[in-house]
Amino acid sequence: MAATRRGGGYGRLSRERVLAGVLELVDREGLAALSMRRLGAELGVEAMALYRHAASKEELLDGLVEGLYREQAERRAAEERADWAGGAESWRAGLHRIARTAYEICQAHPRAAPLLTVRVLEVPLARRPPVVRKQHLAVLALLREAGLDERRIPLVFRACLAWIHGYPAVDLCLMDPPEELPELQAVTAAEPSGPEGLAVGLDALLDRLVGPPASQGPA
């Protein structure tokens, strides 16, 4: 049976293994390739075995989003530990770290990256996975550290999330424009782009909505 070929029996299948299989499949073949039957073949089990860990393809997608956010959080935590000797970072540096690690995860998993915006927006805030809400709360905490009042925070919060998640999505779409669209090719060749463009845009947004860094003064 397929269940014993690679999976060693249904009992050895775990949610973590299922979700790792989802990410591996999507990374290699894209979201369109994902189905319970196809994933079962990938893991060497019958498709019915997967229903113990995910009731539907929709749950697999939600689990994939959760896994990508967790990977981002782990990367950010590792950077924070490595930089601990340098002392506490500023609220701006904290926002840049969140933006940069989100971008890196999208670059590492470009075929799954659209889920980080589309799928999350389809789920009400209260029902989003804890790791997603934790990132939202981290952004809020940094904005409060910046000295924004509660009336101003919602606007800046939404703008930051839109940039953090929107920029990587647009950047991925523009990576390989068709040759017959020279206008798009010109956009992709423009500077700054990539991580530098992400940082420049975030600073421009923060300068406009919060104010320039104290050492910089007014423009």
Of the listed ranges 20-29, 39-48, 76-85, 163-172, the one predicted with least confidence: 76-85
Nearest partner of 209 among 148, 137, 138, judged by Cα: 148
Question: pTM (2 decimals)?
Answer: 0.82
List, in order of start, the domains of the chain with CATH numbers. 1-55 (1.10.10), 68-209 (1.10.357.10)
pLDDT tens column, 173-201: 766 655 666 676 666 666 667 899 999 99
**pLDDT recorded at residue 3:** 37
What are the helix (H) ranges across 30-113?
Answer: 36-43, 47-50, 57-82, 91-108
CA distance 13 to 110: 27
Contact 138, 77 (CB under 8 A): no
Residues 192-215 have a mean pLDDT of 89
Residues 110-137 have a mean pLDDT of 87
- The percent of residues in the chain predicted with pLDDT above 70, rounded, is 81
**pLDDT recorded at residue 7:** 42
pLDDT tens column, 98-118: 999 999 999 999 999 988 888
What are the helix (H) ranges across the chain?
Answer: 2-5, 15-29, 36-43, 47-50, 57-82, 91-108, 115-122, 130-145, 153-173, 182-189, 194-209
pLDDT tens column, 13-53: 899 999 999 999 999 999 999 999 999 999 999 999 999 99
Residues 113-127 have a mean pLDDT of 83
pLDDT tens column, 60-72: 999 999 999 999 9
**pLDDT recorded at residue 124:** 80
